[in-house]
C-alpha cells in the first residue's frame, strides 16, 4: 500500500520569547479561577510565610505529564526569595511573569534554578511559555492578599497514570473522553518504539473500547491498533488523515508513526457515540503554535485541536494477520 504523509511540526522553542497577555496586578480578593481552569494541581494555596526562601518545582507531575509547577499557588512574605528549581522532566521549561516582571531562560537541565524576590504585597501570575495552554501555570501571592482558586475540573489535566481515589479527575481532553467508561487516566508509554492499542476491548457496555483509551508516547513512536473484538471497527481521525478500513477481523492491524509534539484524538465511526474513543498524546503535547515542516508557517489557528503526525501508513492485507482470512467482513 502506498505511504500516506501528513506532517505538522511543532515549534515550541519559538514560544520561549513570545510575550503573552495576562495581568498580575495586586488586587484585593484576586480571583484565579480562570487562570487555573486547566491546571490540575492548583487546588489550594500553599502557605509558606515565615520562610526566607521558598522553592517551587519546575517540571512537576501535573497536567497529564511533567508539566506543572509545585506548588502551583504559593503564599510568601514580602522579601522572601522564590526559587524555581528544574526537575529535568517534561522537556524544556521557563518561568515567565504575565506582567513582564521576570522571565527565565528556556532550559531542561535538572537542578537549574531561577530566583525572584517580591518586595510588596500582591499577586503575580506566571507560566511556562511552551506548556501554558496545557495548564503549566503558577501564582505567587505575597502577604495577606485574599485569593480564590478552584479545584481541578473534569477537563483539567491529571498527572499521568490515572485519576485514582486520592488524585484529581483524569483530563477528558475538552470532553473527548468524557463518556469513555474504560478511561481512567493517561498511560505513560514514553520511551517505547512501538505501542499497541487494542481495538474492540471490553468497555462502554460491551466490546466497544480502545484499550488503553489514552496513551502518552514519545515522538517517533509507532502506534499499532490491533483488532481483538468480534464487531466491525475502524480507527478514524479525519483531521490527521488516520482512516483504517471498517473491518471485523481479529488480529488485523493498522499503524501510524507519530512525530513532533501534539495530540491525536480518534474514534470508531460505528461506536464512537457510545464512548469508543481514544487519545495519543505525543511528546510535549499540544502547543500554542504549529508550522508545517518544509512549508510556509501555518500559524496557531489549529494549535489546540491538531497534533503532529510525521507519517502515516497502513499494513496491507498480506502483512495483517487474521483469525479467518477467508471470512473477513469489511464495512
pLDDT tens track for 226-241: 999 999 999 998 888 8
Choose the final residue of a domain: 148, 164, 182.
148
Residue 13 resides in a domain:
no
**CATH number, position 58:** 2.60.40.420
Model pLDDT, residue 324: 41
Are 120 and 240 part of one and the same domain?
no
Are the C-beta atoms of 231 and 258 separated by less than 8 Å? no
**Mean predicted lDDT score pLDDT of the chain:** 74
Q: Residue 150: pLDDT band by 50, 70, 90 thresholds?
A: low
Residue 158 resides in a domain:
no
Are 134 and 22 part of one and the same domain?
yes
Residue 52 resides in a domain:
yes
Model pLDDT, residue 191: 85
pLDDT at residue 221 tops 90: no
Are 32 and 129 part of one and the same domain?
yes
Model pLDDT, residue 85: 97
Residue 255 resides in a domain:
yes
Are 99 and 187 part of one and the same domain?
no
Model pLDDT, residue 241: 82
- Residue written as cell 502547543? 287
Tell me the pTM: 0.45
pLDDT at residue 199 tops 60: yes
Question: What SS3 class is residue 262?
Answer: strand
Full domain range(s) for residue 75? 18-148
Model pLDDT, residue 329: 56
Model pLDDT, residue 308: 30
Are the C-beta atoms of 274 and 204 separated by less than 8 Å? yes
The domain tally of the chain equals 2
For residue 279, give the nearest of 218, 212, 179 by alpha carbon: 212
Are 143 and 253 part of one and the same domain?
no
Query: pLDDT tens digits, residue range 109-127?
Result: 999 999 999 999 999 999 9
CA distance 249 to 92: 43
Are 60 and 143 part of one and the same domain?
yes
Are 140 and 228 part of one and the same domain?
no
Query: pLDDT tens digits, residue range 207-220?
Result: 999 999 999 888 88
Residue 264 resides in a domain:
yes
Q: Averaged over 199-204, what is the pLDDT?
A: 94
Residue 164 resides in a domain:
no
Amino acid at each position: 500500500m502506498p505511504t500516506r504523509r501528513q506532517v505538522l511540526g511543532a515549534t515550541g522553542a519559538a514560544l520561549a520569547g513570545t510575550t503573552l497577555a495576562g495581568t498580575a496586578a495586586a488586587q484585593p480578593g484576586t480571583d484565579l479561577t480562570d487562570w487555573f481552569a486547566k491546571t490540575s494541581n492548583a487546588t489550594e494555596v500553599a502557605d509558606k510565610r515565615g520562610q526566607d526562601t521558598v522553592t517551587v518545582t519546575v517540571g512537576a507531575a501535573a497536567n497529564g505529564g511533567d508539566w506543572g509547577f509545585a506548588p502551583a499557588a504559593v503564599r510568601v512574605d514580602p522579601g522572601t526569595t522564590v526559587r524555581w528549581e528544574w526537575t529535568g522532566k517534561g522537556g524544556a521549561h521557563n518561568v515567565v511573569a504575565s506582567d513582564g516582571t521576570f522571565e527565565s531562560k528556556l532550559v531542561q537541565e535538572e537542578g537549574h534554578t531561577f530566583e525572584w524576590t517580591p518586595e510588596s504585597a500582591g499577586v503575580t501570575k506566571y507560566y511556562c511559555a511552551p506548556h501554558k495552554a496545557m495548564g503549566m501555570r503558577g501564582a505567587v501571592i505575597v502577604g495577606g492578599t485574599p485569593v480564590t482558586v478552584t479545584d481541578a475540573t473534569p477537563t483539567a489535566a491529571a498527572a499521568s497514570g490515572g485519576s485514582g481515589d486520592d488524585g484529581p479527575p483524569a483530563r477528558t481532553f475538552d470532553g473527548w473522553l468524557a463518556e469513555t467508561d474504560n478511561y481512567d487516566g493517561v498511560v505513560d508509554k514514553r520511551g517505547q518504539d512501538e505501542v499497541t492499542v487494542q481495538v474492540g476491548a471490553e468497555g462502554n457496555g460491551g466490546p466497544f473500547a480502545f484499550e488503553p483509551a489514552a496513551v502518552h508516547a514519545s515522538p517517533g513512536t509507532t502506534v499499532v491498533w490491533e483488532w481483538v473484538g468480534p464487531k466491525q471497527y475502524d480507527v478514524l481521525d479525519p483531521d490527521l488523515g488516520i482512516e483504517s478500513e471498517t473491518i471485523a477481523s481479529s488480529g488485523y492491524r493498522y499503524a501510524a508513526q507519530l512525530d513532533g509534539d501534539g495530540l491525536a484524538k480518534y474514534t470508531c465511526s460505528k461506536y464512537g457515540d457510545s464512548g469508543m474513543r481514544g487519545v495519543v498524546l505525543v511528546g510535549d503535547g499540544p502547543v500554542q503554535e504549529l508550522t508545517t515542516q518544509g512549508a510556509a508557517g501555518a500559524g496557531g489557528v489549529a494549535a489546540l485541536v491538531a497534533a503532529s503526525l510525521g507519517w502515516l501508513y497502513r499494513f496491507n492485507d498480506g502483512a495483517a494477520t487474521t483469525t479467518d482470512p477467508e471470512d473477513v467482513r469489511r464495512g
